[in-house]
Chains A and B, each alone.
Chain A
């Protein structure tokens, strides 16, 4: 179907099926490499720092953060949105490309989905901890109770948010796990150690690879994919309503849902790019994750970057066109110029301008540059969230209440902690889960073998 001369083969090296299995599963059987152990060590230290920050926050209070009575949300919410954005890629990648029958996705989607699950997990830490009374967090669940009964407020975007994220995490994790079942079965069948056999056997849920099972597997994939496709759009739209439903200047805007979804896809794809460049390099998966694959991701990034730029300009234009002095102040005197001008231009340049370099094939095919760009995009996307959260809150309607915000070490430590969790999770994934969907790659490879 895709094996035209124009597009070239999806998997290089003319692999046989058993070769594919051997290539992909080899890290699972090999002894952990030195860099892997070092990576685990560093990420564990980062995690410990994060746990310390969490302990301080819970034991002493949100006062240990830099937020105040004017800027009620700070790094926690910035990082929450940032992680959720990154957590978008996996599912978006799999689902949209699955629905669009873009089979080149098959070499990348496993890693992207793993990333999603870890990132959404990291994201979930922040809204929980930014609550003043985390021990009463269960109030947000609409459960039958004897308090009245006291019900949640269905008007509140935070409640929608809670529902959307938990649903998204659940579906993403299920989708990811479902995709791994045939691969777990393969490992179960190949593994020599009994523990591995038992463990992977447990997760393979007795998969035998019968036609019936494949049929159900495919069917379920499409069903979950269908649900997840909706969630991919809804989750970040709903995260955006946390802002858009408010009255804050710079927040109260209808562009936010699409803007947030596109932004999330953007940062997610950039993270996928970062991760895949590392992964194919260290595990020598260049034949599975080919340059052509990365080129496609790069083109997507470039295109999404155009949308981002358009969104930024639209926001600014709307602020000016509205004639609303508060909007104008926020955009023109607190973002483009003013106290937060550095953060604004970091966002604009990294997200809307730098990725445009990839119009040039030379740049696009230079993986070092692409790697740097992908990192810059994630930095830029972090600043985008900073811009949204902090600039609007710091100077809104009454100048008497204007204040600024600087994070404390506790907030920074907590962010480092989630980075640690992310690296830790990804490293575990590298070691214990086939990084590329073996069964799907084989299916893609099939066309080529036929030829």
Chain B
């Protein structure tokens, strides 16, 4: 493995370490006896050794901290320069799992990566992450990881693997290599090397959830099969058709940042984008829309066709043939035409015909080069459905001799992959077990991304580097190294990647090349600075014929915010993550509209048999009539102990339409079974009961009166009085502001908080009992009519009240107020009367009902020695019987305060970032010192939009909320005060 370095000195002088190696190896071998023997064999540098060493010490410390006996913790004899015990190191790296890209900082404590943070310098992801990125660190320590190379059930050595593979491939048969989308330039080079040696090799990129419709539509229209760059920040009018662009569609982290920037409303800048979502299932993106039109996918295509023709008429382009649509789309056309060059139409469909319409509309509106970009095109989702289809056909005909599957799971995502048996030799390369690995003859364990080198080009011209942050835990080998070995190359991948970057990607100017590699590695990304060439300049109008399709019931399949396409099924953090809209976890379910449920006689949490498969039903407000929806990613069978046998595999309903994978299916048969299946829900009441919880207004009203919708705040402020002296905080007074207009409900903060604060996973049964441990939750409310409700997302953490009701009722003073305004819990003092839980009007306190660590009844991450390595040593693992809650990441506050003190300076605003704030993709959360009138948090609290939750109780919370502003026309006769908003009729729990 290539050495890691942090400073130039280390890099330079660390080179002549050959003579040091001898003595070091002695030390290393002696000490490594305590470690896994597999690890000893692996080659490594001094630094790797120290990492391992720290790793073992820390794991001993962490594991022992849960029980009283102290295990051996050996101090460093000679402390390495770059490791200060107890202090974290951060390494810039890249997250790319085949579908999603993020530039990240990896927090490494004593040799263990324990947390992933957003890289705020990255020009692409700009500091945001998604829930899946946050949770990916746990996959490093997954018990279901592949640990050894295995051939037909026997563990073999890597030498044997190489010998065997070279023999096999040397026979000259037709080899097919299937990988997910590859955005790594150096990996492409590796593949070129491989194909050079084995010219009979075909490389196929396969996306479980495909976007090849967009690429092919652009190929037809522009002559370039690209996904254009989307610039939601430049769009003033967003019209989205079934695209969950804030949740899972293509690059949600980037899009969320851009989108949120158009939702920032201040008195100085009273403008925001208008977002219309036309969709069938109520997606997270739809829940944020200013206006949402629930329609079937067929109807949505017709609306699109109508808009196309109307825009074509206004712009002088040829028409297409479209049957009439039921819903009038005239006002969308008017708005689009008014917003030429600053509008954006997107569609989540994989149908190239529909994507042609979308591209055509955008082109006619002049959106290419403004909100859409053919220069900085998105490099994700490169799989071609047609190519894959051809491959399947050839496989079935027995034309494929050797099949190498790398990090893809077609056995699961094709709903069965019998054709695979036709291949003479099958190999799987991947980091964790899955259905496909179990079906292959040869299994080659791949590194987890935190163990491996890599690079990425997520957007044309933007490069990103990935560096290993830990020595490989198991006897795994990088996918690229496996290919290089197979291609009989001497060069290792880490050498190749550096060569490639220094010679191909590095800028030509000589002066900037000094230490370029070091600087780039430290930053984690590189931008060439040159504007890439446009992928295409030409345009030819599409010829599309839309045919009316009649069907009673359409099934639409979507990727869930937690599990994506199922690759994270074995990650308990994501399994327990409630869906942003339905607030259900641990299962997928069939979302049915209220009207259809009445028509078909379905009950909430009843079970239907859909094509013979039993699926639980959830009556979902906002679901379009005539559609039902089911999440992909569940129903795994070989994912591991956590992910197996949860929900149903919805990939079986993905159908091929003209060679494209279609995620809608109108050929379903549904029968009511009369069974019931209770779902694990974290929220069972869905209306605000007319209470001023999430306060909202419209943009128009906001322009007239910035405190519109927030009258209750003024009223409460006027009543603010107390007989007691008010609490005073000298120095710091920590506080937070949540901009409800920017929050999309994406759940990133929830997982970030879990990872930072060692929050236990409790499992499906305990969630049903309403005992989820999440410190940070996102409340979701519906209002108006259940056919098309307004949706509200409200992130809720401990409010750190200055008049905290929880504090005065604790008989043993286990919870008390700090002199910086934090509400604290002393776990060792808590005797667990739960009085504070009862007296918290926000219900943010959590009780440890059981021992959640090392307990076979909770066989999740905390019951495995390996998975416990992810625990953050700065945060206590709570014992059974104590109450816990959000601390505003007090460990981070203390760390930064100490840093500032040692450096003899004042803390800068924004220097401290709690876990939820750090990686929020939309920047909805702001933390800071309320005593500093210049801090961002103080300024936000001065805004008219600011209010406090349940402020009438005079709890004086430290967390402020900014009113939600919707860019809709004010409804006549309706008071802006949300107290009078009518509760939705939908009620799923009394």
A449 interface hit (Cβ, 8 Å): no
* Residue of chain A at shortest CB distance from B808: A155
Measured between alpha carbons, how far is A403 from B770 in the docked complex, in Å?
7
Are B689 and A399 in contact, CB atoms less than 8 angstroms apart?
yes
Measured between alpha carbons, how far is A397 from B690 in the docked complex, in Å?
11
Measured between alpha carbons, how far is A242 from B839 in the docked complex, in Å?
10
Q: Which segment of B313-321, B591-599, B847-855 sits at the interface?
A: B847-855
Q: From the candidates A67, A73, A398, name the one contacting B842 in the complex (CB within 8 A).
A: A398
8 A Cβ contacts from A40-63 to B = 60-63
Are A399 and B834 in contact, CB atoms less than 8 angstroms apart?
no
Are B685 and A399 in contact, CB atoms less than 8 angstroms apart?
yes
Q: Which segment of B148-156, B241-249, B877-885 sits at the interface?
A: B877-885
Taking CB atoms, residues of chain A closer than 8 Å to B771 are 63, 68-69
* Residue of chain A at shortest CB distance from B828: A136
Chain B positions within 8 Å of A, measured between CB atoms, are: 683-691, 693, 766, 769-772, 777, 779-781, 794, 796, 805, 808-813, 829-835, 837-839, 841-843, 845-851, 879-883, 949-950, 953, 955, 989-990
Are B881 and A61 in contact, CB atoms less than 8 angstroms apart?
yes
Measured between alpha carbons, how far is A339 from B686 in the docked complex, in Å?
16
A400 touching B779 in the complex, CB below 8 Å, given contacts A62-B881, A69-B843, A246-B805: yes
Q: Least Cβ distance of B395 to chain A in Å?
A: 50
Query: Which among A156, A245, A401 has the greatest number of chain B C-beta atoms within 10 A?
Result: A401
Measured between alpha carbons, how far is A436 from B631 in the docked complex, in Å?
72
Measured between alpha carbons, how far is A212 from B811 in the docked complex, in Å?
45
Q: Least Cβ distance of A412 to chain B in Å?
A: 16
8 A Cβ contacts from A128-150 to B = 130-134, 136-137, 139-140, 150
A393 touching B880 in the complex, CB below 8 Å, given contacts A155-B808, A158-B811, A401-B843: no
Q: Least Cβ distance of A253 to chain B in Å?
A: 15
Are A399 and B849 in contact, CB atoms less than 8 angstroms apart?
no
Are A329 and B770 in contact, CB atoms less than 8 angstroms apart?
no
* Residue of chain A at shortest CB distance from B840: A247
A156 touching B808 in the complex, CB below 8 Å, given contacts A62-B881, A132-B882: yes
Taking CB atoms, residues of chain A closer than 8 Å to B831 are 131-134, 136-137, 139-140
Q: What are the 9 A-B residue pairs with the smallest beta carbon separation, nearest first?
A: A132-B832, A132-B881, A63-B849, A400-B779, A72-B834, A401-B843, A158-B811, A72-B837, A68-B770
Query: Which among B683, B835, B851 has the greatest number of chain A C-beta atoms within 10 A?
Result: B835
Measured between alpha carbons, how far is A156 from B851 in the docked complex, in Å?
27
Q: Least Cβ distance of A55 to chain B in Å?
A: 15
Are A397 and B812 in contact, CB atoms less than 8 angstroms apart?
no
* Residue of chain A at shortest CB distance from B772: A69
Is chain B's binding surface mostly helix, strand, loop or mixed? Answer: loop
Taking CB atoms, residues of chain A closer than 8 Å to B835 are 72, 156, 158, 242, 246
A66 interface hit (Cβ, 8 Å): yes
Q: Least Cβ distance of B831 to chain A in Å?
A: 5
A339 touching B990 in the complex, CB below 8 Å, given contacts A66-B769, A247-B805: yes
Q: From the candidates B772, B777, B838, B879, name the one contacting A73 in the complex (CB within 8 A).
A: B838
Are A402 and B989 in contact, CB atoms less than 8 angstroms apart?
yes
Would you mind naming 17 contact pairs between A and B with Cβ atoms under 8 Å apart? A61-B851, A62-B847, A69-B772, A132-B832, A132-B882, A152-B811, A153-B808, A153-B810, A245-B808, A329-B689, A393-B838, A395-B685, A397-B950, A399-B687, A400-B794, A401-B843, A403-B770
Are A63 and B691 in contact, CB atoms less than 8 angstroms apart?
no
Taking CB atoms, residues of chain B closer than 8 Å to A136 are 831
Q: From the candidates A63, A156, A339, A403, name the one contacting B850 in the complex (CB within 8 A).
A: A63
Q: Least Cβ distance of A247 to chain B in Å?
A: 5
Are A398 and B809 in contact, CB atoms less than 8 angstroms apart?
no
Measured between alpha carbons, how far is A132 from B849 in the docked complex, in Å?
8
Chain A positions within 8 Å of B, measured between CB atoms, are: 60-63, 66-70, 72-73, 127, 130-134, 136-137, 139-140, 150-153, 155-159, 162, 242, 245-248, 325-326, 329, 338-339, 393, 395-404
A63 touching B779 in the complex, CB below 8 Å, given contacts A70-B843, A398-B841, A400-B685: no
Are A403 and B684 in contact, CB atoms less than 8 angstroms apart?
yes
* Residue of chain B at shortest CB distance from A156: B811
Are A61 and B770 in contact, CB atoms less than 8 angstroms apart?
no
Taking CB atoms, residues of chain A closer than 8 Å to B841 are 247-248, 396-398
Are A246 and B847 in contact, CB atoms less than 8 angstroms apart?
no
Are A63 and B766 in contact, CB atoms less than 8 angstroms apart?
yes
Measured between alpha carbons, how far is A398 from B953 in the docked complex, in Å?
13
Taking CB atoms, residues of chain B closer than 8 Å to A150 are 813, 829
Are A247 and B839 in contact, CB atoms less than 8 angstroms apart?
yes
Taking CB atoms, residues of chain A closer than 8 Å to B693 are 398-399
Q: Least Cβ distance of A287 to chain B in Å?
A: 49
Taking CB atoms, residues of chain A closer than 8 Å to B685 are 395, 399-400, 402
A153 touching B811 in the complex, CB below 8 Å, given contacts A132-B834, A396-B841: yes
Is chain A's binding surface mostly helix, strand, loop or mixed? Answer: loop
Measured between alpha carbons, how far is A152 from B989 in the docked complex, in Å?
40
Are A69 and B691 in contact, CB atoms less than 8 angstroms apart?
no
Are B813 and A152 in contact, CB atoms less than 8 angstroms apart?
yes
Taking CB atoms, residues of chain A closer than 8 Å to B882 are 132-133
Measured between alpha carbons, how far is A69 from B847 in the docked complex, in Å?
7
Taking CB atoms, residues of chain B closer than 8 Å to A393 are 838
Measured between alpha carbons, how far is A66 from B839 in the docked complex, in Å?
19
Q: Least Cβ distance of B876 to chain A in Å?
A: 14
Interface contacts beyond A398-B843, A400-B685: sample of 4 additional A-B pairs, CB < 8 Å, sorted by A:
A63-B771, A131-B881, A132-B883, A153-B812
Q: From the candidates B809, B812, B883, name the one contacting A245 in the complex (CB within 8 A).
A: B809
Are A73 and B834 in contact, CB atoms less than 8 angstroms apart?
yes
Are B842 and A397 in contact, CB atoms less than 8 angstroms apart?
yes
Measured between alpha carbons, how far is A428 from B777 in the docked complex, in Å?
53
Measured between alpha carbons, how far is A152 from B811 in the docked complex, in Å?
6
Query: Which among B693, B879, B990 has the greatest number of chain A C-beta atoms within 10 A?
Result: B990
* Residue of chain A at shortest CB distance from B693: A398
Q: Least Cβ distance of B971 to chain A in Å?
A: 22
Taking CB atoms, residues of chain B closer than 8 Å to A140 are 811-812, 831
Are B684 and A402 in contact, CB atoms less than 8 angstroms apart?
yes
Are B839 and A248 in contact, CB atoms less than 8 angstroms apart?
yes
* Residue of chain B at shortest CB distance from A62: B849
Are A156 and B842 in contact, CB atoms less than 8 angstroms apart?
no
Are A133 and B687 in contact, CB atoms less than 8 angstroms apart?
no
Q: From the candidates A133, A156, A404, name the one contacting B989 in the complex (CB within 8 A).
A: A404
Taking CB atoms, residues of chain A closer than 8 Å to B830 are 132-133
Are B953 and A72 in contact, CB atoms less than 8 angstroms apart?
no
Query: Which among A130, A246, A398, A403 has the greatest number of chain B C-beta atoms within 10 A?
Result: A398
Q: Least Cβ distance of B295 to chain A in Å?
A: 29
Q: Least Cβ distance of A244 to chain B in Å?
A: 11
Q: Least Cβ distance of B270 to chain A in Å?
A: 30
Taking CB atoms, residues of chain A closer than 8 Å to B688 are 399
Query: Which among A61, A72, A157 has the greatest number of chain B C-beta atoms within 10 A?
Result: A72
Q: From the candidates B690, B832, B845, B850, name the one contacting A69 in the complex (CB within 8 A).
A: B845
* Residue of chain B at shortest CB distance from A326: B691
Measured between alpha carbons, how far is A344 from B880 in the docked complex, in Å?
34
* Residue of chain B at shortest CB distance from A159: B811
Are B849 and A398 in contact, CB atoms less than 8 angstroms apart?
no
Taking CB atoms, residues of chain A closer than 8 Å to B847 are 62, 69, 72, 132
Are A72 and B684 in contact, CB atoms less than 8 angstroms apart?
no
Measured between alpha carbons, how far is A69 from B771 in the docked complex, in Å?
5
Are A133 and B839 in contact, CB atoms less than 8 angstroms apart?
no
Taking CB atoms, residues of chain B closer than 8 Å to A153 are 808, 810-813
Q: Least Cβ distance of B323 to chain A in Å?
A: 43
Taking CB atoms, residues of chain A closer than 8 Å to B808 are 153, 155-156, 245
Measured between alpha carbons, how far is A127 from B548 in the docked complex, in Å?
68
Are B811 and A338 in contact, CB atoms less than 8 angstroms apart?
no
Q: Least Cβ distance of A172 to chain B in Å?
A: 23
Measured between alpha carbons, how far is A89 from B771 in the docked complex, in Å?
38
Taking CB atoms, residues of chain B closer than 8 Å to A130 are 833-834
Taking CB atoms, residues of chain A closer than 8 Å to B838 are 72-73, 246, 248, 393
Measured between alpha carbons, how far is A248 from B950 in the docked complex, in Å?
12
Are A131 and B684 in contact, CB atoms less than 8 angstroms apart?
no
Are A400 and B796 in contact, CB atoms less than 8 angstroms apart?
yes
Q: Least Cβ distance of A156 to chain B in Å?
A: 4
Measured between alpha carbons, how far is A63 from B777 in the docked complex, in Å?
21
